[in-house]
Amino acid sequence: MIIERVFTKAPEIPSEKIKENLGSNETTKRSFAKTISWRIIGTLDTILISWFITGTIAFAISIGAIELFTKMVLYFFHERVWNSVSYGK
């Protein structure tokens, strides 16, 4: 069954449908989900770097907590602006 899927030719997609999908915009929900997932990674990175520099885990966590919210808001609006730019689409 898996081998059949690998070797079976995919159905043809009309070129209009491909162009339509390439030009489609991301939904706000998708931008928000990407914002959350990226901030988790970014905040963990900030906490680790802050801990390494300061040597104090409590201080590192407080830096990460502040950074979590400010960068989440900035990233969300950054995504929405880029979604309206036609460059590279």
Pick from 65, 64, 41, 42: which is nearest to 53 by CA?
A: 64
Residue 23 or residue 53, greater confidence: 53
Largest CA distance in the chain: 58
pLDDT in tens, 64-78: 999 988 988 898 898
Q: At what angle do helices 57-84 and 28-54 cross, to 10 degrees?
A: 150
Q: What is the pTM for the complete model shown?
A: 0.56
